Amino acid sequence: MSQVPDTLRYTQTHEWLRQEADGSITVGITDHAQAQLGDLVYVELPAVGKALTAGDACAVVESVKAAADVYAPLTGTVLAFNDALASAPELVNQDPYGEGWLLRVSGDLPPDTLDAAAYRALTESA
Amino acid sequence: MPADLLLKTPLHAAHLAAGARMAPFAGWDMPLHYGSQLDEHHAVRAGAGVFDVSHMAQADLSGPQADHYLRRVLCGDVARIGTGKALYTCLLNEQAGIIDDLLVYRLGADRFRLVLNAARREADLAWLRARQADFDVVLTPRDDLAMLAVQGPQARTLTDPLLPAGVRAGVAGLARFAAAEEGDWLVGRTGYTGEDGYEIMLPAAAAPALWQALLQGGVRPAGLGARDTLRLEAGLSLYGHDMDDTVTPLECGLGWTVHWEPAQRDFIGRAALAAQRAAGPARQRAGVVLACRGVLRDGAPVLQDGRQIGHLTSGGFGPTIGRGIGLARVEAGADGACTIRIRDRELPARFVNPPFVREGALRVDLPPLANA
């Protein structure tokens, strides 16, 4: 079973969001998503300062066999990206909610995200 | 295709028991990986892995004119191989397009085993049967057999003790592209990974026990995912990607599978192929290595000086190399630096001569890593 931490919010497209103490939002892909993709070998992330629009593709995660878009779960500006992923994309597989985070974004937590129970229901019905 | 209509190999239950992620492939329900495609890739380069390749089609050809018949339908000449030897070659149409690539084993003066791609089984058998009338031959599909590929530097050492006594004696000191036969077992020192190893054809009923013994002996189960990255690093062509029936061997790096001598051997496709050779093929195969981080994908345009000169026929990530690599079909003479268009970006790359990796070692010069 994939992990779905209770403390996070989730999207229908398998991103997770975490509100930080400074108000910024950290974004990654879920354990379920990384397991579906398999071994990741490349992650393409947007530059700091880039404006994101909720629902638009904002990053690409590539496994050996396929590339998958990551969709911006909120509208905001990129404050930071995880540059460790340039040389170690496998961190997303190993620790999707920790060392494998993707982006830190300014903006508000969208109201239409899923809580852990709703996301668990989504992945279990898939 | 619904999962319940997919064909299952004799090892299907064993794959599920080993935790395989299954995926449809050429009508079969096959293991993609057993947890990590990358770990399986590295296990084959460093130790040994076993692949279930029972989906590949096997067929026996026999009869007093089997040799003559194969010398007509294959672009490689079976007269060059003695009993117990294998030949990698192609089945061509009249235009010299590749109907399939295959291994043919000579099992006797007038007895052969053909190993065909799963997806090409029906097309191949129909083509072969349609050209049988003038020859006294019998073609028999061997759906009663399974096939395992054990590959890697430790493959032969770990496999030998597990083989039945008769075939074990036969594989001692077996040369590359040679095979040992005992009853319905045929063990060839062949493979599709760039590593040493065996391809083992055996009765379907015997396959689960051998599979289990190999795993218990330290051979890692490996799926079709690792098989693809290994063959790509080894620079080996994949039917339907690097070649098809619109591409001749001269255009896809398989010119070496054609035997032009003796000149009087009139194999199907010879005239078209000879004309193309005389004119000089307009396209050729090339390997490419990315000069930045990233992954290459099949179909991506290959550009030089801002102009598209071809496309990738296979693309991926080379786990041993740690770079994006690919095989391309490009204008003849292409050399030096190029760019590959992936999504909306043009990534710097360089043409190289495959293989990228052979027997665990890097075989190409990697360009310096640039920021793209």
Report the alpha-carbon distance of residue B294 to residue B291 in Å, rounded: 9
Range of the domain at A115: 9-120
With CB atoms and an 8 Å threshold, state whether A62 touches B294.
yes
Contacts of B297 in chain A (CB under 8 A): 67
Q: Is A106 exposed, middle or buried (0-12, 13-18, 19+ CB in 10 A)?
A: middle
Beta carbons of A38 and B293 less than 8 Å apart: no
pLDDT confidence of A75, banded at 50, 70, 90? very high
CA angle B257, B261, B262 (to 5 degrees): 135
Domain count, chain A: 1
**Residues on chain A touching B229 (C-beta within 8 angstroms):** 64
Can you tell me whether residue B272 is helix, strand or coil? helix
**Contact yes or no for A42 and B37 at CB 8 A:** no
Domain presence at residue A2: no
Considering the domain boundaries, does residue A125 fall inside one?
no
Which residues from chain B sit within 8 angstroms of residue A64, using beta carbons? 37-38, 225, 229, 295, 316-317, 319
Question: A23 to chain B nearest CA, in Å?
Answer: 32
* Cross-chain Cβ contact A67/B295 below 8 Å: yes
C-beta of residue B55 within 8 angstroms of C-beta of residue B207 = no
Q: Which of B312, B317, B340 to mutate to test the interface with A (most CBs of A within 10 A)?
A: B317
Q: Are A42 and B294 inside 8 Å of each other by CB?
A: yes
User: How many Å lie between the alpha carbon of A22 and the closest alpha carbon of chain B?
Assistant: 32
Which of these, B155, B38, B102, lies nearest to A65 by C-alpha position?
B38
B312 phi, psi to nearest 5 deg = -75, 135
CATH number, domain of A34, equals 2.40.50.100
Between β-strands B111-116 and B220-221, what pairing exists: parallel, antiparallel or unpaired?
unpaired
8 Å CB contact between B206 and B244: no
Q: What is the pLDDT of residue B264?
A: 97
Give the model's pLDDT for residue B2: 72
Low-confidence ranges of chain B (pLDDT < 50): none
Kindly state whether B324 is in contact with chain A, defined as any CB-CB distance less than 8 angstroms. Answer: yes
**Is the pLDDT at A126 greater than 70, yes or no?**
no
- Looking at residue A99, its amino acid is E
* A1 pLDDT above the threshold of 80: no
Q: Is any Cβ of chain A less than 8 angstroms from the Cβ of B293? A: yes
- A42 to chain B: closest CA residue: B294
Note whether residue A4 is domain-resident.
Answer: no
Query: Is B229 near chain A, with CB under 8 Å?
Result: yes
For residue A86, the chain B residues in CB contact (below 8 A) are 293
The confidence score (pLDDT) of residue A65 equals: 78
Which chain A residues touch B36 with a CB distance below 8 Å? 38-39
Q: Is residue A90 part of a domain?
A: yes
The CA-atom distances, in angstroms, between B345 and each of A106, A109, B291, B302, B323 are 27, 31, 14, 12, 17
Is residue A1 included in any domain, yes or no? Answer: no
CA of residue B171 relative to chain centroid, distance: 22
Rounded to two decimals, the ipTM of the complex is: 0.89
Using CB atoms and an 8 Å cut-off, which of residues 24-83 of chain A contact chain B? 38-39, 41-42, 44, 60, 62, 64-65, 67
Cα gap A90→A122, rounded to integer Å: 25
In the 8-state DSSP scheme, what is residue B178?
B
Residue A53 lies in a domain: yes
Determine, yes or no, domain membership for A18. Answer: yes
